[in-house]
Amino acid sequence: MTEPYKGDPYLENRYGLSHSRFPKWLVTALVFAIIGSGWLAWSANHYSNPEIRSTLISFREIDSKSIEIRYSLEIANPGIAIICRLSARDYGLNVVGQIDDQIPLGRSKLTRVVQIPTRLAAVNAQIESCTSA
């Protein structure tokens, strides 16, 4: 037995039946999937390979007025000037010391040891940011 709406133009129009090979929603979904996967691949590659990569290795308190920080840098373009902002924090996470560390040109991988002067005793140190100057 055949369905009653097959071939009846009134019922096909009423219930939105079409004779196209692919439904409109499938074409739209495929376009969004292609654009979305392209953007996802680009963003994953772009943000997983930054121009400047900094890694905190260690910090140690020297006395109540200074803390020492050791960190490493990987620079994609060693010909650009880089400034790293380092900060020291107290027990309440208040910034008690901050310094801008100028990185010398010409090296793509280096480890730095920097002493941060503080106004109070610091319990930790961190790399706030590393940017090109």
Q: What is the CATH number of the domain that holds 99?
A: 2.60.40
Whether residues 59 and 115 fall in one domain:
yes
Report if residue 1 sits inside a domain.
Answer: no
Per the structure, the complete domain to which residue 91 belongs is given by 52-132
> Which strand (E) or helix (H) includes residue 45?
helix 24-48
Residue whose C-alpha is closest to residue 25's, from 13, 14, 33, 35: 33
Residue 5 clears pLDDT 70, i.e. is over it: no
In terms of domains, do 20 and 80 share one? no
Residues 63 and 123 in one domain: yes
Residue that is written with structure tokens 């292609």 in the block: 34
27-57: pLDDT as tens digits: 899 999 999 999 999 999 988 888 999 999 9
Residue 4 lies in a domain: no
* 66 and 125 belong to one structural domain: yes
Residues 97, 119 contacting (CB under 8 angstroms) = yes
Do 70 and 103 fall into the same domain? yes
Confidence tier at 2 by pLDDT (50, 70, 90): low
In this structure, which amino acid lies at residue 55? Answer: T
- Tell me if 28 is assigned to some domain: yes
Nearest to 127 by CA among 109, 104, 101: 101
φ, ψ of residue 6 in degrees (nearest 5): -65, 120
pLDDT at 6: 66
Domain shared by 70 and 23, yes or no:
no
Residue with tokens 């994953």: 44
122 in helix, strand or coil? coil
Structurally, the chain folds into a number of domains equal to 2
Q: What is the pLDDT of residue 4?
A: 63
Are 72 and 110 contained in the same domain? yes
